[in-house]
Amino acid sequence: MPAHASADQSSSPDPSPDPSPDPLQRERAHLAASRAALRAMRADVESLDLSDVTGNWVNAAILQREMSDRIKALADLAHTPLFFGRLDYLHAPGLDGAGDRRDEQFYIGRRHVHDGHGDPMVIDWRAPVSQPFYRASRKDPLDVGLRRRFGYTGGELTAYEDEHLTDPAELDTTSALLAAEIERPRVGPMRDIVATIQPEQDEIVRADIHGTVCVQGAPGTGKTAVGLHRVAYLLYAHRERLARTGTLVIGPNRSFLHYIEQVLPALGELDVAQATVEELVSHVAVAGADLADTAVVKGDARMAAVLQRAVRSGIRLPTEPCVVVRGSRRWRVPAYELEELVQELMDRDIRYGAALAALPQRIAHAVLVKMENGGEAPDDRVQDAVARNPAVKAAVKAAWPAVDPAKLVFRLLSDPEFLAACADGILTPDEQRTVRWPKPPRSLRTAPWSLADAVLIDEARDLVERTHSLGHVVLDEAQDLSPMQYRAVGRRCTTGSATVLGDIAQGTTPWATASWAEALEHLGKPGSRVEALTKTFRVPSEVIGYASRLLPGIAPDLAPAESVRESRGALTVRRISPADPSPDDSAAYDSAADDSAALDAASALTPPAAPAALTDAVVAACRETLRQEGSVGLIAADARIPLLAAALDAAGLPHLDPGTETTAESRLTLVPATLAKGLEYDYVVLDEPAAIVDGEPDRRTGLRRLYVCLTRPVSGLTVLHSRDLPAALRV
């Protein structure tokens, strides 16, 4: 069947052995049978009696939890397709050695489903036999004769579409169902892309677990979804290993994490932790915020060397002997022997806390050697007792005092002399003044800790005691991290791997990443593979083309993204005058005509609108946009949010906060510009771009923030402004 034909138009034979003459009915029957088989699989687990298979209550509790997770994973999501494709192989590939069944036709879905005999009815998309669904092409069909995609409406299978990969007549065809799935209106949390993964995305998803992968992805290229699907794939391919070591997804804020949190459960993965960088380093309560210059210095990688000196600043080489009294005898360890022990620990690459634990044992061992030379025969219990001797404890405290990371950083930021000693030759005097608190707080509890301070404490903690390492970490929106924050994340995967996701052009912090090579160095994964995703499947070409005008000024080394979706009229740019708050009288500014001269003339001749006129126009645009199907995001500078919230309330337009799940009844979200990153909406109304730029500490960061906001829509963007647009957007 031609690739664009719907199921009801098909007349070609179907390879299915089902005798029904209607191919669509045969596929629906297979779907019904697969759902019934999944219910049976779940019922089998629910019916298991665990009372006689556990030795104690601890094992029983663990097993019960595992069974509960298994039952949840086998849930049939009514509005989520159980399978979304089918592969008909030219030759039977088998099932990668699992069982004796060898077949030529496989249904590809979100999870494995088998019938009562154990024969597969749906193959997990992560299985090796499923890979050609994403990789096969007419140029390289990978032994696939036919790839079938299914279309669903409300969970019901309503259409299918075939690609005959060996048929020369179909060389120029594209998938209408694939395009429809990408463009389907977005209501609710972020959806998975398991049915629409592209070959370049699939290559990243299935990359080996032993290597770290960094993805430079333009807006709409699916980099976040790729990262999440990579976690799901690794948990499938290396489940036992990652069950021991753990996985973690790190996002920029809680709103973002809430938005993406349903993707992995939809793929059957329930035990993936999520956190922000702030939550990772929550050793103190963050109650303050640094000025940009201060945060830049605190986030500089040189601070690691300052902290290294600070942690070891209390070490003193012994000048007095240690005398241990046991019974009637006295055992003397001379100062030079103690000095050798301390110096040896100083010279080794060993964490401060580990050395602190080792030093009393080494002093005790020196005493035991003297005891043996004196004719005694001490054992390990004697050594432990000597290590706890008050004289040994006193010698250790004098030479290698315990370090509290929070107190150490508190002292660094409060004591100019201590900071100067630790930062000499590392930070300039001006930089030292920048990082110090202007007025030292009275105590740890009253200290105005910032996020950068918490990261410093985390670094100090790792210098004292090793941070637990996970098997795999996904770091999203990585371009906004400082070098010290990269180090904090890297500590969580020193013995594991990472997937780093970001876009240099969307860096909106003063310390934003300059290059991925530099970022990977700070992360502790130098030389890792860097992949670029440049095809945007989400953002219409008209919108991404408009936003890309900013790239020469914010990320000159990046090539503009190429959209695979043409959508005329997806972009409207309108200047609002005090006399024209209505969106209905603005045809002259519709960028569908791409009349740059008209935009320039309007900007030059129209005076800036009063705030009320712009606000009224924004409310009217939201009301108009809500007539369309799908979600709507109103994005504005943070300072404008209270005013717009009040205006929406007065107009009777209910609105949600970012990260709150949209519903069919409540589809409008009011989004501060600083929280827009990573989110997406079918339609976006963008309020006053100049205010978004002005809301950042410098113009480049402001333009990058604007670039983020411009690239949030899936179907349409309306830009409303009363002030001049940035020059690049008026060209």
SS3 375: coil
Non-local CB neighbours of 680 within 8 Å, separated by 6+ positions: 186, 190, 220, 538, 712, 713, 714
- Do 15 and 146 form a contact (C-beta atoms < 8 A)? yes
> CA of 33: how far to CAs of 7, 40, 72, 113, in Å?
20, 10, 20, 10
| 499 annotated to bind ligand | no
- Do 98 and 76 form a contact (C-beta atoms < 8 A)? no
Q: How many CB atoms lie within 10 A of CB 666?
A: 15
Strand pairing class (120-124; 156-164)? unpaired
| 7 annotated to bind ligand | no
Which tokens sit at 414?
């409060």
Which tokens sit at 416?
């100019």
| 423 annotated to bind ligand | no
Euclidean distance between CA atoms 15 and 343, whole angstroms: 77
- Do 355 and 387 form a contact (C-beta atoms < 8 A)? no
SS3 554: helix
Which tokens sit at 254?
């809680």
Q: How many CB atoms lie within 10 A of CB 320?
A: 12
- Do 613 and 585 form a contact (C-beta atoms < 8 A)? no
Euclidean distance between CA atoms 409 and 448, whole angstroms: 12
Q: How many CB atoms lie within 10 A of CB 283?
A: 17
**What single letter denotes the amino acid at residue 563?**
S
Strand pairing class (632-636; 681-687)? parallel
Euclidean distance between CA atoms 267 and 420, whole angstroms: 53
| 446 annotated to bind ligand | no
Cite the beta strand spans of 300-358 per DSSP E: 322-326, 329-333
| 220 annotated to bind ligand | yes
Euclidean distance between CA atoms 463 and 137, whole angstroms: 51
| 298 annotated to bind ligand | no
What is the chain's Cα-based Rg? 31
310: closest CA among 394, 406, 437, 429? 406
| 425 annotated to bind ligand | no
| 218 annotated to bind ligand | yes
Euclidean distance between CA atoms 512 and 136, whole angstroms: 38
Binding-site residue ranges for ATP: 217-224
Binding-site residue ranges: 217-224
